[in-house]
Amino acid sequence: MKDWDRWLQEREWSPVQPEEFRALPADEKLRRIRHSAAHVMATALRQVRPGARFAIGPATEHGFFYDVRLDAPLTPEEIKAVQEGMGQVAKAKQPFEVAVVPHAEAVEYFRDKGEQYKLDILEKLVDQTVTFYRNGDFVDLCAGPHVPDTGFCHYVKLLAASPAHWRGEQNPSLQRVSGTAWDSKDALKNYLAFVEEAKARDHRVLGAALDLFSFHPWAASALWHPKGLIIRNELGRFWRELQPEYGYVEILNPVLYKPELFHQSGHWENYHEDMFIVRDQEGDPDWAIKPMNCPDTMLYYKTSAHSYRELPLRVAESQVLHRNEVTGALHGLMRTRSFVQDDAHIFLAPEQVQDEIRQLLELVDRFYSVFGLQYSMKLSTRPEKFMGEIEQWNAAELALKEAMEAAGREYWVDEGDGAFYGPKIDISIQDSLGRKWQCGTIQLDFQLPQRFELEYMAQDGTRQTPIVIHRAIFGSLERFVGVIVEHFAGAFPVWLAPVQAVVLPISDEKHLEYAQEVTARLRKAGVRAELAQYESLNYRIRQAEKQKVPYILVVGDREQEERTTAVRRHKVKEQRVAPVADVVLEISDKVKSRELDVHVATMAAAKFVEPSAATTEENPY
């Protein structure tokens, strides 16, 4: 075997220049600190697990991770040892140095070292010169850039070690060791406080505490409890009330189809590995559960002839969809195998695209403003694997750009992240903690109308092929519920709260009859009200606060005599006494207007979100 220690010494290693680093903008410095922290962690991890095999270790939005092959998951004691080792590596101020290495020699080096994941990466870099970075004894295939030395990675904290997949494998074979890295002690302290708040708001925790939903390993999605179903139904009612105003009609199609539908649409070739397929006795595909609503909406369009006078034709559907997501990608409501999507497909003529997208952006504004959610947009362009002609893709991408610019919207371009059938506008909502969740999408599609031979009679009497816009705003309804549970920390606006008011008699003996009367009046007015009795008043108030009920109504001697109620609002110190009729009207008005009557607490999100430090799932090459 080659003397690799000597070979490494013979490389021309160049240090990272401190002057160059100091001249960088603050966000780029932070990105480099985080990327370098992944190498510092790997250096320390190798001391704890010498047999570790490394895959990729990029910077992320708030820190870093390294995907690693280990014989067994890291124990809490080992994670603590890695954290302590990182401190020692940072204290040693090991210089980061870079060397240019011929591709063939890099392959030979990592083959002898048994680093299969590095060899997989090098397969995509054939005929290229690559770079190695080293600090101390740790040498890595890496495009950089890095900080001058490990001393810049002092304010670092490991956060988790979890299963991870390598390039499309079904079962996770790696451990993702992740952490956060900052440029000061205060910044790290603030972020860790943010992490603790995020844990407290975890929808899986709040979902159980508020009796909204639960999860079971045998289930493809959540088990919806009565209170959680109320939230789902209220969101659906909101969706159905708003869409007719914009000219939508709603349809309902089956979930099960013959594979021919997906061959026709192109999904079988590009997506069948992510579908649930029912096979016949010979093991051949017989039926498929649909993973999206697009193909069968094309069938609906073909049920009748269409004229230009009907366009745009806006068709909505919210059917249950199923996708065979890999186990490691599943996460509560945020990523499930069974979900409902608020889909719509808009059939239109080319000259209608810009006006339609402007209307869609207006609809997006109205949807998200109801929940106090801000959002950002990106244009995702042609991926490596795509259907159709490049000229069509270029035209579609240009149409989306022009529409957003004509509407005065800011966006950024994510090259290669479009759907296989067309470019798209991806909409990420930002919650009260400053975290971004990709929910909505607007996709321009020239391909499906052609594949299904869709037509409309144009004004000049010719038969033309419509363009289709795929549109979702909630996106997955399950994910949206998970987002708003965490966004509101479970304290929903009155219109969305599963229980809008709870009535508490001070004494069951003296005030129960009046409390029942108040509860009945609320329910008759359509208010979701409950009556709580038996336990002490203080206990019942505490329970109502824990359940985050918006209105806590207490009745005693005075209230019974004056036909009033003492009103307590969740998280509001001031209390008041008001006539029951006024309280009923107040709640009803808030429900009718869908008032955002809760304080959406923020945690100075700007401290934690650096636009140039976007998360990447790829090796820095």
Q: Could you give the dihedral angle defined by the CA atoms of residues 64, 68, 74 and 78, in that order, rounded to the nearest 10 degrees?
A: -70
Has residue 615 got a pLDDT over 70? no
Token pair for residue 319?
Answer: 């059917």
CA 316 – CA 313 distance, rounded (Å): 10
pLDDT of residue 214: 96
**Closest to 222 measured CA to CA, from 343, 335, 329:** 335
Mean pLDDT across the chain = 90
Number of H helices, E strands in the chain: 20, 30
pLDDT of residue 621: 41
CA 320 – CA 299 distance, rounded (Å): 18
The tens digit of pLDDT for each residue in 295-305 reads: 999 999 999 99
Catalytic residues: 294, 323, 341, 343, 345, 424, 470
What kind and span of H or E run contains 433?
Answer: none
**What is the full DSSP assignment across 521-551?**
HHHHTT--EEE--SS-HHHHHHHHHHTT-SE
* Percent with pLDDT over 90 in the chain: 71
The tens digit of pLDDT for each residue in 503-519 reads: 999 998 899 999 999 99
Has residue 617 got a pLDDT over 50? no
**Closest to 559 measured CA to CA, from 520, 509, 502, 515:** 515
CA 529 – CA 521 distance, rounded (Å): 9
pLDDT of residue 109: 93
Lowest mean pLDDT among 286-290, 383-387, 410-414, 425-429: 383-387
Has residue 603 got a pLDDT over 60? no
For residues 263-292, average pLDDT: 88
The tens digit of pLDDT for each residue in 206-247 reads: 999 999 999 999 999 999 999 999 999 999 999 999 999 999
Has residue 125 got a pLDDT over 90? no
Chain position carrying tokens 């649930």: 276
Has residue 15 got a pLDDT over 60? yes
* CB-CB contact of 515 with 505 (8 Å): yes
pLDDT of residue 608: 47
> Does the predicted TM-score (pTM) go above 0.75?
yes
* CB-CB contact of 381 with 423 (8 Å): yes
The tens digit of pLDDT for each residue in 65-108 reads: 999 999 999 999 999 999 999 999 999 999 999 999 999 999 99
